[in-house]
Amino acid sequence: MLSLQDNLSVQYLIELYHKHVADHLTKKNKKIGITAAVVATLVYYIHDRIFKPPKELRHIPYQTYYSFVGSILRQESLWESYRRKILPVMDDKDNDGIYVRPFDGAWNVMVSNPAHVKKILLNTAMLNGSAWKAQRKLTNPAFHRAMPVNLFGDLTLELFQVIDQANGSVNFTELITRWTLESIGKAGFGIVFCREEKNMMSFTYTSSWLGFEFNAISQKDSKWVKTYTVINSGLSNPIHFLFPFLDRYDSIWLSAKRRYLHHQMDLFLEMIDQVILKKRTAIERGDSENNFLPEHEKDLLTLMIEGEMRGEGVMSDEELRSNVCLFFLAGHETTSSALSFAIYRLAVNPDIQQRAREEAIRVLGDEPKDALPTLDQTKQFPYINQIIKEVLRIDCPVNRVIPRQTSEDFFFNNTLIPKGSLVCVDLTAIHHSKKVWSDPEKFDPDRFAEGGEASLHDAGSGMTWLPFSMGGRQCAGMKMSLYQQRIFLAMLLRKYTWKLPENSIHKNGTVQKGTFTISPVKMEIEFTKRY
């Protein structure tokens, strides 16, 4: 239904037509003229109602729908789009760190002012979802208990074998994608066999008893690597993001390639269902093969099911499946991208790479043999941790947190955000803001040193480093991801030195891909063994 203002606009166009056009047309041309006027009115209406934000949000600077769609269709990387369109607006001294842009078929109020961000992430008016809170009762304790350092170390040794066999440059982007896929799969719901070795208990991780095994590191063409790659690629297709009706299974527009993707997704979900069923049955019977494990080495699915049995919460198989899939998609893509960017930053900053290597050697020793960090040793890498944090600031794999809907009218200073608006923290804008960070495009891990720039931010009134979000909706996998990255980087630094090849496409800065999750394109790295 047209609003009063829309009706007045249409009436005004009709009056203009009768006053200035109608008397000059023949009878035949009048029909054409009327048709043209109707079409023009519809075009105006569509332009005003669809391609612009709602009128109640137009007092805020906004990115037009044309600009947003054009950037996607040009396959412009997210960073290129921000550098060209968003950051100049956000860095303007008169801008309060708020703008509006289209996302997921809706208009979102994007926020990069740290003080406003704090309101969003901590305000109860924006913590939506009783179902989400109920599920968090199981997922949060599971993530806090799980810390499989032995698993991450063993898988890193397996990756070393692939690097050594390559005997030259390695497509690191592709290799780390397989490593994180394997580690996420096994940390999520892999089980463990035990063996005696030199009077020490060690663990070998597998999930073959569940009818599922990735073999992602050693076999780049394994069944589940191919399946997951197809699904992940399809989920990032911008055309179906812009026009979701094209992706309906019963749509006549669904291509054969897209139907194949749906089939692969069905297979993947069926595999997840079988894993959950077998895992739940085994635990309920008391014959789970990882009962002997220390709590921190158990997989997440086991911990969630055991928590449910202790009365910590209730989660249906469908909810378990949703959480496992979310863990896969969110944890795999973001961690592999973060490590790819970390390897790049260390390759082009050899002084920082050497300083980090000295820390790894100081903790793990310099004997010419591989060493796996213990849980306690993973807490002794402050400089490597600073590198990880700086990578997640300057090369954050995700650009925003999940939007929240305001349950009441809301104000950022004097700017009204109406009830029902979607509000979202813009991570890229805040992490690259000249108002927040000094020289934001410089890679400087010392920002996160004790007494450094980031600690001064922490003492202030806002939030400035948010790759995992903050508050009640903070990423449950944050702790595990940071441990995973510390273990991998410490072991890699101790084993190899590395640099970009002379002909690298990234020698003048990373060439990136992705509209939603960002990663470097085919990053070749030359590794040299230290022992």
Binding site listing for heme: 475
Evaluate the CA torsion angle 49, 52, 56, 58 in order and state its sign: negative
Please tell me the distance from the alpha carbon of residue 29 to that of residue 11, in angstroms, as a whole number.
21
User: 271 CB contacts (<8 Å, ≥6 apart)?
Assistant: 211, 212, 224
User: 266 CB contacts (<8 Å, ≥6 apart)?
Assistant: none
Encoded tokens for 181: 């896929």
Please tell me the distance from the alpha carbon of residue 323 to that of residue 319, in angstroms, as a whole number.
6
User: 115 CB contacts (<8 Å, ≥6 apart)?
Assistant: 461, 462
Which residues participate in the annotated binding site? 475
Question: What is the identity of the amino acid at 41?
Answer: T
Tokens 């297979």 belong to residue: 267
Which helix (DSSP H) or strand (DSSP E) does residue 195 occupy? strand 191-197
Tokens 């093969």 belong to residue: 289
Phi and psi at 427, nearest 5°, equal: -70, -45
In angstroms, the Cα distances linking 236 to 28, 63, 516 are 50, 21, 7
Residue 438, SS3 per DSSP: coil
Please tell me the distance from the alpha carbon of residue 397 to that of residue 333, in angstroms, as a whole number.
8
Residue 100, SS3 per DSSP: strand
User: 407 CB contacts (<8 Å, ≥6 apart)?
Assistant: 125, 126, 128, 419
Instruction: Work out the widest C-alpha separation in the chain, in whole angstroms.
Output: 102
Please tell me the distance from the alpha carbon of residue 204 to that of residue 201, in angstroms, as a whole number.
10
Calculate ∠ Cα 159-178-378, nearest 5°. Answer: 55
Please tell me the distance from the alpha carbon of residue 103 to that of residue 113, in angstroms, as a whole number.
20
Which helix (DSSP H) or strand (DSSP E) does residue 56 occupy? none
User: 530 CB contacts (<8 Å, ≥6 apart)?
Assistant: 368, 494, 495, 496, 497
CB atoms within 10 A of CB 176: 25
CA distance between the termini of the chain: 73
Please tell me the distance from the alpha carbon of residue 402 to that of residue 395, in angstroms, as a whole number.
19
Encoded tokens for 97: 């760190």
Please tell me the distance from the alpha carbon of residue 523 to that of residue 511, in angstroms, as a whole number.
9
DSSP state of 74: T
3-state secondary structure 341-359: HHHHHHHCCHHHHHHHHHH
